[in-house]
Amino acid sequence: MWRALIGKYWIERFARLPVEIDVASEYRYREAPVDKNGLTIVISQSGETADTLASLRYVKENGSKTVGVVNVPMSSIARLTDAVAPTLAGPEIGVASTKAFTCQLVAMAALAISLGRALGTLGEIAEKALVGELVATPSLLAEALKLEPAVEMLAHKLAHARDVLYLGRGTGYPLALEGALKLKELSYIHAEGYAAGELKHGPIALIDEAMPVVVIAPRDAVFEKTVSNMQEVAARGGRIVLIGEKWAAEEAAVPIEHFLAMPEMNANFAPIVYAAPIQMLAYHTAVIMGQDADQPRNLAKSVTVE
C-alpha cells in the first residue's frame, strides 16, 4: 500500500495522470467501475498474494491494461499481467519486506518517469535529470547505511517505549506508515504513522514526555510545514527523533532527542534512501528486545489464502 502511495505521488507529478490507490482485499469486493482506457499497476513481492490476484483478474475481465511490479518473474501475477516490471531484488528470506520494498520503489520511479516521457509531460532534459537522480540513489543508500551504529543506539531507547508515532509529509507520509508497520511487525511495539498535517486532528492528544515521535523530513517543498509540526510536538514535551539532512536539526530549532543525519540529496527520490534507516530502526529494536526479526509471530511471507 505504501509503495503504491509513493508511486502515486511520482506518477501524478511526472506524468500528470490521476492515480487512485486501493487495498486489494477491499477492492475485490467493492464492484468498482473499471476504466477500459486505464492502467492497473499491481504490486506484490511474491506475485502470489490471493487478494491481489483476485483484483487483477477482476480488472482484466473489465478491460483494464495491467502491469505487474513483482519480485518473482515466474509468479502468477507476472504471468497474468500484460507487462511486468521485475524488481530484481533476489530472494528475501525475512517475512518483513525490506530490499523488495526499496526495489519496488525504484521500479515505480522508473515507470513514472517513462510515463511522463511518453505523454510529453517530461522533456528530454527533465527526463535525463530525473534518471540521473535515480542512478545516484545506490551511492546515497550506501551513505545512509553508515548510520547503522547511530540507529542501533537509538533502538536501545526505542525498545523501552510503549507507543511510537511516525510523522511525514508528501512522500514522507507513506514512509511514516512504513516505519510504523515495520516496528509493529518486528518488535511488537504499538506504532502509528500519520500525515504530519493531520497532527492536530487527533494524534496530538497522544503526545507526552514518554512518546517518541519519529519525524521524516527530507529537503522538499513542505519542509517548513514539517518544522511547524515538530514545534507543536516539542511544545507538548514529545521526544523528537529527526531523520533529515545535516542542516535539518539546525533549521528545526527545537529540542531533538535523536538525530539521524542523512546525506544531502534531491527530494524527488528521497523515499528510496530514507527507507534504509527506518527499516534498520525496526530491525535493531526487535533484536535488542530479543525478538526474531526474520520470522515475526503470526506472520507469513506471502498471504496466499484469505
When pLDDT is cut at 50, 70 and 90, the band that residue 20 belongs to is: very high
Residue whose C-alpha is closest to residue 236's, from 257, 216, 210, 215: 210
Cβ partners under 8 Å of residue 133, min gap 6: 265, 266, 268, 269
Which CATH number describes the domain made up of 2-122? 3.40.50.10490
Cα–chain center distance at 46:
18
When pLDDT is cut at 50, 70 and 90, the band that residue 306 belongs to is: low
H and E: helices and strands count for the chain: 11, 8
When pLDDT is cut at 50, 70 and 90, the band that residue 140 belongs to is: very high
- Residue 206 pLDDT > 70: yes
Separation between Cα atoms, residue 278 and residue 126, nearest integer Å:
30
Backbone angles phi, psi at 169, to 5 degrees: -120, 160
When pLDDT is cut at 50, 70 and 90, the band that residue 300 belongs to is: low
Per the structure block, which three cell numbers stand in for 168?
Answer: 511525514
Q: What was the pLDDT predicted at 240? A: 93
Dump pLDDT digits (tens) for 158-191.
999 999 999 999 999 999 999 999 999 999 999 9
Which sequence spans correspond to the domains of the chain?
Answer: 2-122, 147-288
Answer with the residue of higher pLDDT: 203 or 185. Answer: 185
- Residue 92 pLDDT > 80: no
Q: What was the pLDDT predicted at 304? A: 53
Separation between Cα atoms, residue 30 and residue 99, nearest integer Å:
32
Cα–chain center distance at 240:
20
When pLDDT is cut at 50, 70 and 90, the band that residue 299 belongs to is: low
Q: What is the mean pLDDT of the chain?
A: 90
- Residue 298 pLDDT > 80: no
- Residue 272 pLDDT > 80: yes
* DSSP 8-state assignment for residue 303: -
Dump pLDDT digits (tens) for 40-78.
999 998 888 889 999 999 999 999 999 999 998 889 999
Domains 2-122 and 147-288 share a fold: yes
Separation between Cα atoms, residue 151 and residue 277, nearest integer Å:
7
One of 3.20.20.150, 3.40.718.10, 2.160.20.10, 3.40.50.10490 is the CATH number of 147-288, namely 3.40.50.10490
Q: What was the pLDDT predicted at 199? A: 81
Dump pLDDT digits (tens) for 231-241.
888 888 889 99
Q: What was the pLDDT predicted at 296? A: 73
